[in-house]
Amino acid sequence: MKNIVLFVRQVLKHWIYFLTSSAPVAGVTVWEHIYGSSVKAKPFAVLSFALYTMAFYRVWLEQHLNEARLVLDLTKVHQELATERAKKLAEVAQAKLLDAQREEIEAAKVQREAIAKHEERIRVLTASDSGIRFYVRRETSRIGQTAAFTADLLASALMTSKEEIEEALLVLKSRGHAEETPFRGRWLIHP
């Protein structure tokens, strides 16, 4: 109801403007001065109705153009929102990608450190002055003869895992410092 009242007020405002200061009304005023008589009621009513129709059309057109402007603004805002949302999603995806890359780098670093630590442990186990060869030399001198050792015995004596001992024995074998005996799992170590 409020919109209808506003529309009618706008139509009346424009109509009054057209009746008081438009070119047709100025023509009627000139006519009255030239001929010295006033315009008859019927032509004035037709002119008034035409001006009322023009006022009605003018108000409708202003509201229509205003609505079109609002729709255009709303569309622009929706596009900006969609662009911002896409940017935000891209930023979130970029952040997730960076996090994943960072985690991958950290995992690779941890893996490299574990490999380096393992390689150092194998180096210590295979060195002549520590690890397996040192233990075998000490045990051989203690018992006075060469003996075969198992991976389990070496792992328990050197407090390391059986897998590391087996790997170290293979390294020693490749260097010519160890050989597997015909008895499965027993190794002769050459200090």
Beta bridge partners of residue 179, listed in sequence order: 188
Biggest CA-to-CA distance, the chain: 153
Q: Global pTM?
A: 0.50
Tell me the C-alpha distance between 16 and 4, whole Å.
18
Average pLDDT, the chain: 87
Question: What gap in Å lies between CA 154 and CA 149, rounded to an integer?
Answer: 7
Q: What's residue 106's pLDDT?
A: 95
Task: Give the dihedral sign, CA 169/170/171/176.
Answer: positive
Tell me yes or no: is domain 127-189 CATH 1.10.10.10: yes
pLDDT band, very low/low/confident/very high, at 1 (cuts 50, 70, 90): low
Return the closest-CA partner of residue 126 out of 180, 165, 181, 179.
Answer: 165
pLDDT tens column, 139-168: 888 888 888 888 888 888 888 888 888 888
- Give 24-71 pLDDT, tens digit per residue: 777 877 877 788 778 788 888 888 898 889 989 999 998 888 888 999
The confidence band for 121, taking pLDDT boundaries of 50, 70 and 90, is confident
pLDDT of residue 28: 78
Question: What are the residue boundaries of the structural domains of the chain, listed by start?
Answer: 2-81, 127-189
